[in-house]
Amino acid sequence: MKGVSFLRLAAISAFAAGIAFAGTSHAGVAEGKKIFDSKNCGGCHQVAGPAKEKSIEDQLAKKAPELWYAGSKFKKEFLEKWLKDPKPIRPMEYYSLTKKNAGNHPKLDGKNADEVADYLMSLTSADAKKAGIAPKGGPQGRIIFEKKQGCYGCHEVSKGGSTVGGLTGPTMIGIGDRLQPDWIYAYLTNPKVFKPVKDMPTYEGVLSESDLKILAEYVSSLK
Amino acid sequence: MVGKATCVIAAAVTVFAVTVFSGSTANAASAEANYKFYCSQCHGLEGKGDGPNATKSQPVSPRNHTSATEMAKLTDQDIVNVIKGGGAATSKSTMMPPFGKTLADGEVTALKDYLRKLCKCKGN
């Protein structure tokens, strides 16, 4: 009996230690949320889903991209790096057609940036499903991106060492380091869950499922 | 009573169908609001073809919607087709994207009317 009790105690201890250990890997989430709140990041970025926008006015009233699915969208390494040294992702100010992005997003120091990244990575959406999308460059995707649809009409890309394309969409330069491939596919196939009102056309039902998959693979390969 | 109830149900089904199948879950916006939100990115806020996406590196220039000469070449149906299907719908550049799954049919028709006001012209 004594032996059984000892085993049971050992098992409980191991279980508790496991929880404590697992807990340390998410220690930054609570701290990150504190920093996020104390700096009033939520004043510009929506962190509670689902999306609420119903009209163009609703979308234009937003000051910055929503982050309620940031953990499904971004790569953690990117967030950690970007928060320490933010560079414009959109050439224009958020949803502005007249003002260039001034590149004045607040920056965080090392530990704070890492903890806010931990917090943002905890904000996920069940609609960003695993789809097994892997980065894949090549002519098939490029033809869809450049010829079948003129994606670079709004999204700048790097071509032959030069930056070409439009300015109203987020840049495609470095997008492979920035976004999770599965999220790119989820956004292309089910955009209204994430952004019910957006200035980018809906391609779901325009491009075939196969083309959307190839496009997501191609976009996630762009550097 | 039965007639009234049937009528209410039919009305509810119609509202549901229009909402679900109109091609847009967002509230329908005025033609001017839609134009300034979607089209002006390339065509400019006044329709002169000078939106922020009209950079020098683009392979084609966005059409100047205030040009009666250019716009009179397009029939009303051409304009509707281009908005819904993109440039490819009229054998033009695919840099003009398709909005058929973004805008409801009524919004596209209203945009066509708005373009006719911008060019102060009719289609041939």
pLDDT in tens, A85-142: 999 999 999 999 999 999 999 999 999 999 999 999 999 999 999 999 999 999 999 9
| CATH number assigned to the domain comprising residue B54 | 1.10.760.10
**Whether residue A215 has pLDDT greater than 80:** yes
CB contact under 8 A, B52 and A168: yes
Residue at token pair 């050992």: A10
Task: Give how far Cα A144 sits from Cα of A2, A128, A219, B69, Å.
Answer: 70, 23, 10, 32
- Per CB-CB distance under 8 Å, the chain A contacts of B93 are 150
B31 falls within a domain: yes
B12 falls within a domain: no
In Å, the largest CA–CA distance within chain B is 67
- Decide if A46 contacts A66 (C-beta within 8 A): yes
Task: Please state the φ and ψ torsions of residue B122, each to the nearest 5 degrees.
Answer: -115, 160
CB-based contact (8 Å) between B15 and chain A?
no
CB contact under 8 A, A56 and B29: yes
**Average pLDDT rounded to a whole number, residues A188-194:** 97
B13 falls within a domain: no
B1 falls within a domain: no
By Cβ distance, the residue of B26, B53, B101 closest to A204 is B101
State the nearest Cα–Cα gap between B82 and chain A, in angstroms.
13
Token pair of A43 as six digits: 């004043």
By Cβ distance, the residue of B52, B94, B100 closest to A167 is B52
Q: Provide the residue range defining the domain that includes B100.
A: 26-119
How many domains in chain B? 1
pLDDT tens digits, residue range A4-28? 454 454 445 444 444 444 444 467 9
> Which domains are delineated in chain A?
26-125 (1.10.760.10), 127-223 (1.10.760.10)
B7 falls within a domain: no
CB contact under 8 A, B52 and A206: no
| Secondary structure element (H or E) that encloses residue A11, with its range | helix A2-24
- Claim: this prediction has a pTM higher than 0.95: no
Q: Buried b vs exposed e over B12-26: b needs ≥16 C-beta within 10 Å?
A: eeeeeeeeeeebbeb
Render each residue's pLDDT in chain B as its tens digit; 124 residues: 445 554 444 444 444 444 434 444 456 789 999 999 999 999 999 999 999 999 999 999 999 999 999 999 999 999 999 999 999 998 999 999 999 999 999 999 999 999 999 999 998 6
Nearest CA in chain A to B45: A97
Task: Please state the φ and ψ torsions of residue B99, each to the nearest 5 degrees.
Answer: -115, 15
Is-cis flag, bond preceding B62, omega within 30?
A: no
CB contact under 8 A, B41 and A60: no
CB contact under 8 A, B40 and A97: yes
Q: In percent, how much of chain A has pLDDT > 90?
A: 87
ipTM of the shown complex: 0.87
- Per CB-CB distance under 8 Å, the chain B contacts of A155 are none
Q: Torsion angle of alpha carbons A91, A171, A122, A50, nearest 10°?
A: 80
- Decide if A91 contacts A144 (C-beta within 8 A): no
- Decide if A87 contacts A10 (C-beta within 8 A): no
pLDDT at B123: 83
Mutation site for B-interface testing, chosen from A59, A97, A147 by largest number of B Cβ within 10 Å: A97
Token pair of A90 as six digits: 């959109």
Coil, helix or strand for A72? helix
B6 falls within a domain: no
Name the A residues in 138-167 with CB < 8 Å from any B CB: 147-150, 153-154, 162-167
